[in-house]
Structure 1
Amino acid sequence: MTVSAQTTAGRVDGVWREGSAAFLGIPYAAAPVGDLRFTAPVPPDPWTGVRDATRPGPTPQRRPFSDTPTIPEPVIPGDATLNLNVFTPAPDDPGARLPVLVWIHGGAYISGTPSSPWYDGRSFNRDGIVTVSISYRLGFDGFGWVGGDGPDSLNRGLLDQLAALEWVRDNIAGFGGDPDRVTVAGQSAGGTSVLDLLAVPRATGLFRRAIAQSPALNDIPADEVIRASGTLAGTLGIPCTPDGWRSLTPDQILDVERSGAAYGGFSMFDPPEPTDIRSVTGALRAGAAPPSTMAWAPAVDGELFPAPVTTAVADGHGADIPLLLGGNRTEFPMPSPRPRAQIVDALRAAGVGETALSRFGAELDLIGDAFADSLVASELQFGTGTIRVADARRRAGGAGTWLYDFNGRTARGNLSPHCTDIPYSFDLLDAPGVEPVLGAAPSQQLADAMHGDWVRFITDGTLDWPTVEEAGVRQARVYDAAGSHLDVDSKAVAADMTGV
């Protein structure tokens, strides 16, 4: 059965599905092609009649992250890639005024799509929450420098996210949502985007709560993106101008944008080198940013994105926004080139205390010594940034910051890898692609605990464990197969590595 709702550009038809409606592929901006390629998003042209919104829209993702991605994220061809999906139990009911979740997908800013079955809003709808999943331009198209100093020469993907949030503000009431009760949330690059939006003045008033799952604190200086883009233009034999970039097909850019050799940098797809734990930890304790391997991501440009997240947060930006923040216990488990004892000795020499080392050792006892290096890398890429942001918010004061630690284990390897938290926070254990990742019997008790807390936070903006402002940055709510519990030293390793 189809159902309709009104947008500022025209009416749309969605589909009713056992208790809620899905409106798919609604354009929030015009197709970024032709003269609009490499420009800021502009509103879509209005349409007459009723637009079909029963099928997913085209995706900015043209190539998946890998041949075997964890999350099923389809590539859908077409030009109108700046679109979003709305899942609602109250279509065309402006009086419902339900809380709203806006979801920003991950994918390292080079891949991902809002139309994964893992991002379906049906369970949140069941609990009275309208859910919106958004697309945004990826890779060089979204985040490379195209030359000049215009407001869209950088950060077009971030501008897309803002345009989608503005669409929600202007339209969500027609889908039963309350524009004054919006929570913005995301995982991985989406979680990082959430933190970035806390530091972007233009985002003020577009959301009232924030959830960042497994964010990496990038804070890439604009000069680095400009340098990499100029080098890439030289590799491709074009002038670094909008017309120069428009002379290339998307595939010509996609063929090289993931290769660090093409832009004179280090790519996340290059083989990793073992971390010099003592020097990196010393730099972190002295205030350096966590290491990053991304070139195409939101850049601190002094205008749209004026200052690094921790600087902005410490100055009080976003202090009125309650924040739920955390990550997975073993984000990227990969075999270790060095023995456990060597890693532990290096951490101890770097100033990591015995409580934290005990926690580090207990995790290796569960997952195996082969993952010692990758456990350090996970803390550096994700844990230390989380601690930095949480501590900056603690010092600034404000609406409250809650930390969590996802410790759900996969059936194979007893691990808690990147992305495996999503079916639990969304309570979608029956979604396509979940069983191969989580096994045949994922814990419904864990899903009930995690999803229940997400629902409570989105609805009320509060949770039932101490905030960072009340109890510091070492404690967190831990989600595991038995449900959840408070652990006073859950974040000890990352806290010691950052010297907080």
Structure 2
Amino acid sequence: MTMTETSLRTPVGTVVGHRVDGVRRYLGIPYAEAPIGVRRFAPPVPRAPFRQPYDATRPGPTSQRVPLFATTTIPEPSIPGDDVLNVSVTVPEADGCPVLVWIHGGGFLAGSPASPWYDGRSFARAGVVTVTVGYRLGVDGFAVLDGVPRNLGLRDVLLALDWVQENIAAFGGDPARVTVAGQSAGGAAVLALLSSPAARGRFRRAVSISGGFFEGTHPEVARPTREFLARLGRALAVPPTRAGFADRTLEQLQRAVLDLRGPGPLPLGPFVGDDILPVPVAEGLKEYGHDVPLLLGATGDEFDGDRTPAEEQGDGTRPAPEDRSAGTHTARAARAAGTRPTDTLFRAVCPRSAAARRHASAGTWLYSFEWPSPVLGGAVHCVDLPFFFDLLDASGVPEALGPNPPTDLATRMHADLVGFVHGETPPWDRATGTPGDPAREYGRPGAPLAADTHGVYDPVTRTEAAPW
């Protein structure tokens, strides 16, 4: 493997990256001014053009200063620095390529765009330009504070999408063929953007991997959110205001938030009632984005596998799979009843989104990832990502997937995602949010690698938590 330096002239100035095996990477390019000082808790401001060549040979600073857990399924490096609003671009040796813009997960509190699981090299070899986006997290990105615009983290992503429109052609990308995609909180952000009038025209396709309807709505969440921020202020000995929180560093805020957060809804995240999210996401999907094809799905077990990083921080005990989800129910019965957190938080979102978009001209397609990790005890949250990215050789993969994950499954899933980004229509039927909806199942034991089936999401239609 030979690494060489490569320079590129762009509308924002010259960036210097590196080339390895025919794939070029330009890492940590600021798309906005650093959100510090008077720019902290303010809408993002486009970065001024570079006067000198910008060193883009290493990942940029991350908004994450403290991971969600001591051990996370996805390797999520925290990188210090102020320029957290940056993008990394992985580029094939071609022009006019479609573009995949990736939004990382982490519960809107953590996560890192510099994860090796988000390396775009396999996409580059398939003729796709990949852009990973850093955005503000936690208090800085999603606090509800007087005098502070809502949804700053989503505003960051919107500005990054503007940066893509203005600059990606210099990297060989086609600004008219942009797909926005993300996983977990990133998948929720995709659905939020798809439901937002402010995002219209910034992307042409959308992919939500294990996303959810995680937005807070007034008045259901406004009061609990403010109460949480008041507790946070007391823990930090500052008033729960813009000025008070600005007196603390990102690390201090994130540590305090993680110490205070409990089970249940995320304490911070997108909030309904402004120009970005004027209505709840499920409602917005009925009104906006009908010209944007949507591919979405979830894993079979998400947070209902045999082991989670959160449990590993406790006393080390592991509840048996049949005891996790529904009291006396077995895990299989709980799934059939749609009573697991996996079903109510993640899988129910798939048919609900399809139902909201039933009349969308562009269509909606569902998938379900069913391959059980022998390490984590199920088809759990995040383990599908190395397959979609075709990165089974990335660091951290054996620890999550075991020593021999099926390479043919990665080849198939990656090909399906690449085809969608290239503008192809998925080769299975559209979903309409009705019982018996079609979906593609990936990796179910005893079935073909990709089995086109019906009704895989039917159980969640019977739960009160997932009404039509």
**Could you state the TM-score of these two structures normalised by the residue count of structure 1?**
0.83
Q: What is the aligned length?
A: 444
Matching of residue 319 in structure 1 with residue 319 in structure 2? no
Q: Give the residue type in structure 2 aligned to 1:258.
A: L
Q: Deviations over 1:244-276 (max 9, x none)?
A: 22122333322321244xxxxxx3x44xxxxxx
The structure whose residues are more often helix, as a share, is: 1
Choose the corresponding residue for 1:483, options 425, 433, 449: 449
- Of stretches 295-304 and 401-410 in structure 1, the one that deviates more from structure 2 is 295-304
Q: Deviations over 1:106-141 (max 9, x none)?
A: 011111111111100010011100000011111111
Matching of residue 387 in structure 1 with residue 351 in structure 2? yes
Retained in 1: the 8 A contact 2:195–2:289?
Answer: yes
Extract unaligned runs of 5+ from structure 1: 261-266, 271-291, 347-356, 365-371
Retained in 2: the 8 A contact 1:322–1:461?
Answer: no
**Superposition deviation, residue 303 in structure 1:** 2.3
**Superposition deviation, residue 27 in structure 1:** 0.4
1:80 alignment counterpart: 83
Change (3 A) 1:435 1:340: closer
1:309 alignment counterpart: 281
Retained in 2: the 8 A contact 1:403–1:468?
Answer: yes
**Could you state the TM-score of these two structures normalised by the residue count of structure 2?**
0.88
Retained in 1: the 8 A contact 2:17–2:24?
Answer: yes
Matching of residue 171 in structure 1 with residue 143 in structure 2? no
**Superposition deviation, residue 242 in structure 1:** 2.1
- Of stretches 15-24 and 467-476 in structure 1, the one that deviates more from structure 2 is 467-476
Change (3 A) 1:141 1:470: closer
**Superposition deviation, residue 5 in structure 1:** 1.9
1:252 alignment counterpart: 252
Whole-angstrom distance in 2 between the partners of 1:321 and 1:184: 10
Change (3 A) 1:387 1:11: same
Q: Give the residue type in structure 2 aligned to 1:177.
A: G
Choose the corresponding residue for 1:51, options 24, 49, 54: 54
**Superposition deviation, residue 469 in structure 1:** 3.4
1:349 alignment counterpart: none
1:205 alignment counterpart: 201
2:314 alignment counterpart: none
1:188 alignment counterpart: 184
Whole-angstrom distance in 2 between the partners of 1:471 and 1:444: 33
SS in 1 for 2:365: strand
Choose the corresponding residue for 1:428, options 381, 391, 407: 391
SS in 1 for 2:156: helix
- Of stretches 239-248 and 211-220 in structure 1, the one that deviates more from structure 2 is 239-248
Whole-angstrom distance in 1 between the partners of 2:397 and 2:46: 36
Choose the corresponding residue for 1:474, options 437, 440, 462: 437
Whole-angstrom distance in 1 between the partners of 2:143 and 2:376: 38
Within 5 A, what are the aligned runs for 1:69-468?
A: 69-90=72-93, 96-148=95-147, 150=148, 152=149, 154-222=150-218, 223-224=222-223, 225-260=225-260, 267=261, 269-270=262-263, 293-314=265-286, 316-332=287-303, 333-334=305-306, 343=326, 360-361=332-333, 376-394=340-358, 396-412=359-375, 414-468=377-431
Whole-angstrom distance in 2 between the partners of 1:31 and 1:40: 11
**Superposition deviation, residue 492 in structure 1:** 1.7
Extract unaligned runs of 5+ from structure 2: 307-317
SS in 2 for 1:463: coil
SS in 1 for 2:410: helix
Whole-angstrom distance in 2 between the partners of 1:23 and 1:442: 30
Whole-angstrom distance in 1 between the partners of 2:71 and 2:323: 29
Whole-angstrom distance in 2 between the partners of 1:331 and 1:72: 18
Matching of residue 21 in structure 1 with residue 24 in structure 2? yes
**Superposition deviation, residue 243 in structure 1:** 1.9
Q: Give the residue type in structure 2 aligned to 1:495.
A: T
Retained in 1: the 8 A contact 2:363–2:430?
Answer: yes
SS in 2 for 1:157: helix
Q: Deviations over 1:257-306 (max 9, x none)?
A: 1244xxxxxx3x44xxxxxxxxxxxxxxxxxxxxx511211111232210
SS in 1 for 2:175: strand
2:8 alignment counterpart: 5
Whole-angstrom distance in 2 between the partners of 1:7 and 1:131: 16
Q: Deviations over 1:322-378 (max 9, x none)?
A: 0001000011125669976994988xxxxxxxxxx9x944979xxxxxxx99x7111
Q: Give the residue type in structure 2 aligned to 1:30.
A: E
Retained in 2: the 8 A contact 1:473–1:495?
Answer: no
Matching of residue 62 in structure 1 with residue 65 in structure 2? yes
Change (3 A) 1:343 1:251: closer
2:313 alignment counterpart: none
**Superposition deviation, residue 232 in structure 1:** 3.0
- Of stretches 23-32 and 460-469 in structure 1, the one that deviates more from structure 2 is 460-469
User: What percentage of residue pairs aligned between the two structures are identical?
Assistant: 41
Whole-angstrom distance in 2 between the partners of 1:89 and 1:337: 46
Q: Deviations over 1:391-411 (max 9, x none)?
A: 1111x3321000000012212
**Superposition deviation, residue 313 in structure 1:** 1.2
Change (3 A) 1:342 1:118: closer
**Superposition deviation, residue 415 in structure 1:** 1.0
Retained in 1: the 8 A contact 2:436–2:456?
Answer: no
